[in-house]
Structure 1
Amino acid sequence: MIQAYGLTSDSRKALPPAVDDVSFEAHAGRVTVLLGAPGAGKTTVLRLLLGLQQGRGLACFRGRPLHRVAHPSREVGVLLGDVPGHPARTVRGHLRMLCAAAGVSVRRADEVLEVVGLVGLRDERLGGLSRGMDRRLGLACALLADPHTLVLDEPADGLSGRESRWLHGMLRAHARQGGTVLTTTADPKEAARVADRVLALEGGRLVADQEAAEFARTRLRPRVAVRTPHALRLAAQLTREARAAQRSVEVVQEGGNRLSVYGSSCADVGETAFRHGILVHQLADETGDMGPGADGRVVVSRTVENRTVESGAAQNTVPGGEAVRNPVAVTAVDVTAEGAAGDTGEPPTRSASATEGAPSAGSPPAVASPEHSTPSGPTPSAPTLSDPAPSGSSPAGPTLSGPELSHPALSSPHPADRAVETDGPCPEPDAEPAAVPPSPRRTADRPADDLPALPPPLCVRSAPSPLRPLRYEVRRATGISTGFLTGAAVLLVSAVTAVVLGGMGHTAQARLLTAWPVQLPLPPAALGAGLLGALAFGDEFRHPALAADRGTVPRRLGVLTAKLLVAAVTAVTLAFLTVGCDAEVLYLVYGQELARVPADWMSLGVSWLGLVVGCAWAGVLAAGVFRSTTAGLAAVLAVPVVVVPAVQKALESASVRTAAGFSMRLRETLLVQWPFGGGRYVDAAARVLGQPVGGAMALSLAALLCAYLLTTLRGRVR
C-alpha cells in the first residue's frame, strides 16, 4: 500500500511548483493509474514519492517511509524511463549483475527472464533491443528482488497494441497476487482499461480520484466506430433520424471513411445503414476519448433539441435530399441548450458534448445558441477535467482538500497490509501531527494564524549500495568485452614497443622488459591499468544501473573497496602478463641476451607492481571524484607529467633526507627480528617510496582518497 500526503515539489525562482499538494492512496491488490497530459507532473510525483527529488510531504510504503526500509529494492520495483544499462552488456549479464546488487540468488535472473518472455533474447545486447523488449527488460529489473510494490512511469509509451496488452496483463497479475501497482499514462482510454482506480492530475494538482468504472462513465464517452465509403451520406441519414426522434446524436469524422457516432448504438447505426442501402465495412462499440473535437477531429453534425447544428461554409448534397457541410471546412462547435428527453426516458442532456460528468479539459468550449447569446456576455463553457469529481465517485481514498486531510499517523493501514511488520508510522521523529497545507490559492483570504504547518521536507534518497559489492563489481567488469580488449591492446603494444627498443639498443634491461621508453611518461601496462580503473567508476556514472534515476551512483566505502580490490587484481595480472609477453617476444627475436632476468629483480618487481597498481587505483579514485572516465585517465597521466617533477624538485633540496637504512633503524626501534627475511621487503618498499615516481604516486593516491572521502561525507550530510 502506498500513502502519499501533501507531495509538493520545490519551486524554482518565481515559478509555481510542478506538483502542489498531491495526496492519494494506492491499495494493495489494485492497479492505480496517475493520468495526466505531458507536463501535468506525473513523473515529478513519482520522483517525490521515491525520494529522488527535493520537496515536501510524506510518502509511506506499507506504513514506512522508504528511507526506513532496510532494502528498498525488495520493497519497491521502479522503472523510470529506459533501462539504464551498458549497451554492450547482455540481457542475462545485466540481470545477474543486478542480482548481486539486490542480494538475491543468481538463479532469479533466469526466473524473471522466463516470466517476461526474454529467455530467447538472454544473450542479446542491451543496445540492440527494440522498444518492446526494452520495456520487458525494465519490468524484469523491477521484479528482480520480488518487490511488493511496482512504480512505473508510462511503461506502455511507444509500445504496440499487442505489447501494451501483455504489459497490462503482467501488472494485473502482480496486483492479483496481492501487490501494489502504481503507474502513469497520458491516455485516458488506457487508464480506464487498465486501472482499478484513476487519479487525474492537471497542472500539478490532483483534480479527480475515481474508480475506473466511474471514470469511464463520467469522463469518457462511449461511441460507435463506423467505417464506410459513404461516410457523408451515412452521417446525413443519422442526423435526420436523430432529429426526427428528438435524440442527442453527434457524428464526428475521424478521417477518411471513418465516423464516430456519439449518443447512438451499433443496432441503430446498422439499421439506418441497412434501410438506406449504405455499405458498412466496420461497426463496433468503443470507449471514446475525453470529448469530441478535443484532438482536432472535425464534427460533421450534432443534433440537439430537434435542431441540426452544422459548421463550415461549403455544402454538399447527398442522396436523400439531406445537405451536410464539407468536412474539410468544418470546425468543432458546441451548443448549450436544454435538449428533449431521449428514448430511454432520461432527462434531457445539457449539451451535445456533455452526457454524464465532465469531459476533458481539451474539449472545445461551448458556444451559446444564437437566440440565447448576447454580444457582451461571457461564453459559457463546458465542464473540464478540473471540475470536482461527481458525487457518484467512490469515497475510498484520502480527502483531497488540505485542511481536512488527517496525518498519516492517525490513519489505519489497509487490511491487506496489517500483517506486515513495520517500524512505526510514517511521520518524522518529532511525531507532531500536522495537516497537509492547502495551496496558496485556497488560503489567500485566510489569516496567517489559521494556516496549518508545512509538511515535512522530502530529502533526496541516496542510491542503493550493492548488498554484495565484490560480486557485483566482478560481474560488472567481466560482463562486457572492454576490459579484455584493453588488456589485449596493452599486450600487443608492449610487445611491439619492446621489439623496437631492443633493436635500437641503449635501453636498460628493466625498461626493456616493461616496454617503457624514456620518452614516454608511463609504460603501456600502467596506462591500460589506469584506463581500466577509470572505467570502473566512469561506467557507473555513464550507465547508472543501480540508481532509479540517472545520475546518482553509490559512493559508499564498500563499493570503493570492491572496485579497488578488483582493479588491483586486474593490474597485477596485466603487469605479469606484460613482462612475460615482452620477455618471450625478445627471446624469439633477439635470443637469450635481451630476455635475461635482472639481478635486482625483486626490488624492480615490487616497483613495477606498485606503479601499475597505483595507476589503477588513481584511475578509480579520480573517476569517482570527478565522475568521468576521461578525468580518471587524465589524473593518471598527471602523476608523471605534473606530480613527479614537483617531487623531484622537492627531493633535490638540502632539507630532504634520504630513506636509506630505513629497515635497519625500524628493526632497532621495534627490537624485533624480521622473520623470513622480511627486512628486505621493507627496505625495497622504502626504496620504492623514495623514488620520484613512487613518492608522486603515493602522494596522488592520498590526495584522491581524501577528496573521495570528503565528497562522500558531504553527500551524506546533505
Structure 2
Amino acid sequence: MLQAIGLTSAPRRDLPPMVDDLTFEARPGQVTALLGATGSGKTTALRLMLELEPGRGVTYFRGRPLHRIAHPGREVGVLLGDVPGHPARTVRGQLRMLCAAAGVSPSRADVMLDVVGISGLRDQRLGSLSLGMDRRVGLAAALLADPCTLLLDQPAAGLSPRERNWLHGLLRGHAALGGAVLFTTDDAKEAARSADRVVSIEAGRLVADQESADFARTRLRPRVAVRTPHAARLADVLGREARAARRTVEIVEESGSRLSVYGSNCAEVGEAAFRHGVLVHQLADETGDSGPPVPRARTAASSDAFPDTSAGTSAGTSAGSTDGPAGAPAAQRRRSGATRPPSPVRRVGGPLRPLRYELRRVFGTATPLLTAALVAVTSVVTALLLARLGATPQNRLLAAWPALLPLPPAALGAGLLGALAFGEEYRYPALAADRGTVPRRLGLLVAKLGVCGVLALLLGALAVIVDGAALALVFDRGPLRPPAQWIAPAGAWAGLLVGCAWAGVLASAVFRSALAGLGAVVSVPVLVVPLVRKALDGPSAYPASGLAGRLRGLSWAQWPPEADRLVLGALRVMAEPVGTALVLSLLVLLCAYGFTGLRGKVRW
C-alpha cells in the first residue's frame, strides 16, 4: 500500500508550487496511473514520494515513510528517466553492480535478464541499446531486489505498441503477485487501458481519483474518424442530417482532410456520405480523450462533479474520493490549519556490499587497463630519454620522473583512477535514475580508498618493472646499479602513489567532478609544495633527532631494531616538501569531505 498525503513541493519564485496538497493512494494488487499533461507535476510528485526534493507531506510505503525503511531498495523499485550507468559498461555488469548495491545475490542479474526478455543482450554495452531495450534494462534494475512497490516515470514513452503491451503485461504480473504499481503517463487512453485506477492531476492538484471504468466513462468518448478530401462538405451534410433527425452530433475538424464525429457511428456517417456522393478515404471507430477535467474547488465535497468539455454529452461525476489515508479531505486539513513538517532532500543509501560494488564498478569498463597501458608506455619512453641524457639518479630513472615534471606518469595514472572513483558516478549515477549520485557514506569511502590504493601500488610496480626491463634491454643494465638501501625509496614511492590516488578520491567527492579530482592531484606539487618548501626553509630551533626511539618507548609492544629504519624512512619522506604537502592536502580534503558529505548523513 502506497499512501501519499499532502504532498506539496517547495514554492518557486513568484510561481505556485509544482505539486499542491496532493493526496491519493496506490493499493496492492492494482496498477495505478498518475495522469496529467506535460508540466502538471507528475515527476515532481514521484520525487517528493522518494524524498528527493524538498517539500511538505509524507508518503507511506506499507505504513512506513521511506527514511524509516532499513533497505528501501528492497521495498521500492524506481525508474526515473534512462538507465543511470556508464555507456561502456555491459548490461550484465551494470546489473551485477546494482546487485552488490542492493545486497542480493549476483545470480539475480541473470534471472532478471530472463524476466525482461533480454538475456541475449547481457554482453551489450549500455550506450548501444535502443530505447525499448533501455527501458527493459531499467525495469530489470527496478525489480532486482524484488520490491513490493514500483514507481515508474513515463515507462512507455517512445515505445512501440508491441513494447507497450509487453510493459503493461509485466506490470500486471507484478500487481497480480500482490505488489503495488504506480506509473505516470500523459495519455488518457493508455491510462484507461492499462491501469486499474487512474489518478488525474492538473497544475499539481488532484482532479479525480477513479476506477478505470468510471474514468473511461467520464473522460473518454467513442468517435468516428473520417478522412476525406471534402471535409467541409461532409461536415455540412452530417450537420444538416443531424438537425433534421433531431440528434446531437458534434463534428470537430482536426485538419484539412480529417474529421472527428462524436455522437454517431460508422454506419450512419458512411451512409450519409454515400447518399450525397462524398468521397471517403478512411472511416473508423476510435476512442477519444474529452480533454482534462475541470479542477474541483478547494472547498468542494469529495463527490463534486465536473462538467464534460464536449457538447452534447452529460456531465460525468468523479467516482473517487479525495479523502486520504489521514481520514480528512484536503480542504478540511487546510481549514483546520494542520500543517505537515517539510521533507528534506535525503541522500540515496549507499551500497550494502561496498567492496564488491566498488570492484564491479572499477572493472566494469576498460579504464584501468587503458590507464595502465598508457602509464607503461609513457614511463618507458621517459625513462629511456632520461637514461640517454644522463645525470639522473637511479630512483628517478626507474620512476620515469624528470625534475621538470611535477609528478611521474604512474602517480598521474593513480590520481586519475582515484578521481574517477567518485567523479564517474556523479556523471553516471549508479544506484538509481535521476537520484543525483552515489552518496558519500563512510563504508563506501573506505572501499574506494582501499581499492584505489591497491590499484595505485600495482600501477607503480608495473611502471618500475617495465622501466627496468626497458633500460636493461636497451642499455644492457648500464644505468642500473644494485641499490644500497631500497626500503626507504620503495616506501616513498608507495606513499606518493597511494597519496595521489587518495587525493583524487577525496577531491572528486568534494568537488563532484573527476576533472577537479585530477586537478587537485596536480596542484599538490605545483602549488602546495612551494609553500611547504618556504615554510621548511631555514634551521630549526629544536631538532627532532631521536624521534624513532621515543616512538618505540610509547608503544605497548617493543618492535625490533630493524623497524627503526622503516620509521626513520617514513619520517624522512614526510619531512620532504612533497611528502609534507601531500599529507597536508589529504588532511584538508578529508576534513572537507566530512564537512560536505558525512555531516548530513541520514541513516538508510
TM-score normalised to structure 1 length: 0.78
CA distances 1:355-405 after superposition (whole Å, capped 9, x unpaired) = 1336xxxxxxxxxxxxxxxxxxxxxxxxxxxxxxx16x145xx52xxxxx5
Question: Which structure would you say has the larger Rg?
Answer: 1
Tell me what 1:474 maps to: 359
**Superposed, which structure 2 residues align to 1:143-158 within 5 Å?**
143-158=143-158
1:693 aligns with 2:582: no
CA distance, structure 2, for counterparts of residue 12 and residue 232 of structure 1: 47
Between the two structures, name the one with larger relative contact order (CA 8 Å, sep ≥ 6).
Answer: 2
Q: 1:597 to 1:227 in 2, by over 3 A?
A: farther
1:659/1:687 contact within 8 Å kept? no
1:76 and 1:456 mapped to 2: Cα distance? 23
- The answer for the alignment partner of 2:206 in structure 1 is 206
The verdict on how the C-alpha distance between 1:88 and 1:660 changes in structure 2, with shifts beyond 3 A counting, is farther
Inter-partner Cα distance in structure 1 for 2:367 and 2:496: 22
Work out whether residues 221 and 288 of structure 2, in 8 Å CA contact, stay in contact via their aligned partners in 1. yes
Matching of residue 592 in structure 1 with residue 477 in structure 2: yes
- Determine the C-alpha separation between the residues in 2 that align with 1:613 and 1:9: 45
Tell me, yes or no, if structure 1 residue 525 matches structure 2 residue 410: yes
Kept in 2, the 8 Å contact 1:188–1:290? The answer is no
Aligned position for 1:160: 160
Match of 2:314 among 356, 368, 380: 356
Match of 1:284 in 2: 284
Preserved CA contact (<8 Å) 2:41 2:203: yes
Query: 1:406 & 1:518 partners in 2: Cα distance?
Result: 71
Task: Tell me the distance in 2 between the aligned counterparts of 1:100 and 1:11.
Answer: 38
For the Cα contact (< 8 Å) 1:584–1:595, is it kept in 2?
no
The AA in structure 2 aligned to 1:701 is L
Asked if 2 retains the 8 angstrom alpha-carbon contact of 1:10 and 1:54, the reply is yes
Q: Which runs of 5+ in 1 are unaligned?
A: 293-348, 359-389, 400-404, 412-434, 444-450
Q: For the Cα contact (< 8 Å) 2:83–2:433, is it kept in 1?
A: no
Q: Is this contact kept in 2: 1:487–1:574, CA < 8 A?
A: yes
The Cα offsets for residues 43-91 of structure 1, whole Å up to 9 and x where unpaired, read as 1111111111111112101111111111101111111112221121111
- Please give the per-residue CA displacement for 1:495-549, whole angstroms capped at 9, x wherever unaligned: 0000000000000011000100011111010011001100101011111112443
Matched, 1:535 2:535: no
Q: Secondary structure at the match of 2:597?
A: helix
SS in 1 for 2:488: helix
Query: Which stretch shifts more, 280-289 or 16-25?
Result: 280-289
Instruction: Quote the offset at 1:592 in angstroms.
Output: 1.6
Q: Provide the rounded CA distance (Å) in 2 between the counterparts of 1:273 and 1:595.
A: 99
Which residue does the alignment assign to 1:107? 107
How much does 1:618 deviate?
A: 0.6
Q: Confirm or deny: 8 A CA contact 2:3 2:325 kept in the other structure.
A: no
1:713 deviation in Å?
3.4
Take 1:552 and 1:673, find their aligned partners in 2: how far apart are those partners?
47
What is the alpha-carbon root mean square deviation over aligned residues? 2.6
Partners of 1:603 and 1:696 in 2: CA distance = 18
Where 2:479 maps in the other structure, the secondary structure is helix
Does residue 133 (structure 1) correspond to residue 91 (structure 2)? The answer is no
| Distance across 2 between alignment mates of 1:618 and 1:30 | 50
SS of the residue 1:288 aligns to: strand
For residues 333-412 of structure 1, the aligned pairs below 5 Å read 353-357=311-315, 390=317, 393-394=319-320, 398-399=322-323, 407=326
Offset of 1:254 from its aligned partner?
3.6
User: Mind listing any 5+ residue stretches in structure 2 that lack a counterpart?
Assistant: 293-306
Deviation at 1:590, TM superposition (A): 0.6
SS in 1 for 2:226: strand
1:129 offset after TM fit, Å? Answer: 1.9
1:504 aligned residue (385, 389, 411): 389
Alignment partner, residue 595 of structure 2: 710
Instruction: Give 1:156 deviation, angstroms.
Output: 1.5
Equivalent-residue separation in structure 2 for 1:670 and 1:211 (angstroms) = 74
Give the aligned partner of residue 446 of structure 1.
Answer: none
Compared CA separation, residues 84 and 115, structure 1 to 2 (3 A)? same
Measured in 1, the distance between the counterparts of 2:399 and 2:501 equals: 16
1:218 is aligned to 2:218: yes
2:180 corresponds to: 180
Over the matched positions of the two proteins, sequence identity in percent amounts to: 63
Equivalent pair of 1:101/1:472 in contact (CA under 8 Å): yes
Relative to structure 1, is the Cα distance of residues 351 and 117 closer, same or farther in structure 2, using a 3 angstrom cutoff?
A: closer
- Matches of 1:652 and 1:161, distance apart in 2: 75
Deviations 1:544-573 (A, max 9, x none): 112443424311100100000000110000
What is the Cα deviation at residue 621 of structure 1? 0.7
In structure 2, what is the Cα distance between the partners aligned to 1:604 and 1:522?
Answer: 16
Contact 1:437/1:455 (<8 A) preserved = no
Distance in 2, Cα, partners of 1:246 & 1:671: 105
8 Å CA contact retained: 2:291, 2:309: no
Q: Which residue matches 1:614?
A: 499
Query: Relative to 1, partners in 2 of residues 1:79 and 1:352: Cα closer, same or farther, differing over 3 Å?
Result: closer
Partner residue of 2:36? 36
Structure 1 residue identity aligned to 2:223: R
Q: Which amino acid aligns with 1:74?
A: R
Q: Is the 8 A contact 2:198 2:215 kept in 1?
A: yes
8 A contact 2:308–2:314 mirrored in 1: no
In structure 2, distance between residues paired with 1:7 and 1:286: 36
Q: Tell me the residue number matched to 2:559.
A: 674
Name the counterpart of 1:325: none
Structure 2 equivalent of residue 663 of structure 1: 548
Residue type at the aligned position of 1:115: V
Deviations 1:402-422 (CA, angstroms, capped at 9, x unpaired) = xxx563xxx6xxxxxxxxxxx
- Report the alpha carbon displacement of residue 105 of structure 1 after superposing the two structures with TM: 1.0
CA distance in 1, matches of 2:485, 2:531: 28
The whole-number CA distance in structure 2 between the counterparts of 1:465 and 1:351 is 49
SS at match of 2:500: helix
2:486 corresponds to: 601
Secondary structure in structure 2 of the residue aligned to 1:221 = strand
- Within the alignment, does 1:544 sit opposite 2:429 as a pair? yes
The alpha-carbon distance between structure 1 residues 356 and 178, as it changes in their structure 2 partners (threshold 3 A), is: farther
| Counterpart contact for 1:248–1:352, Cα < 8 Å | no
Cα contact 2:155–2:183 (8 A) shared by 1: yes
Give secondary structure in 2 for the equivalent of 1:593: coil
Would the alpha carbon gap of residues 656 and 489 (structure 1) be closer, same or farther in structure 2, given more than 3 Å must change? farther
Letter of the 2:338 counterpart: A
What residue number does 1:340 align with?
none
Q: How does 1:66-145 map to 2 (within 5 A)?
A: 66-145=66-145
Indicate how the Cα distance of structure 1 residues 118 and 668 shifts in structure 2: closer, same or farther if over 3 A, else same: same
SS of 1:29's equivalent? coil
**Residues 530 and 151 (structure 1 numbering): CA distance in 2 closer, same or farther, change over 3 Å?**
same
1:491 corresponding residue in structure 2: 376
Question: Which residue number corresponds to residue 339 of structure 2?
Answer: 454
SS at match of 1:83: coil
Partner of 2:193: 193
Match of 2:304 in 1: none
Deviation of 1:146 after TM superposition, in Å, equals 1.0
Determine if the alignment matches structure 1 residue 559 to structure 2 residue 517.
Answer: no
Q: Return 472-481 or 255-264, whichever deviates more.
A: 255-264
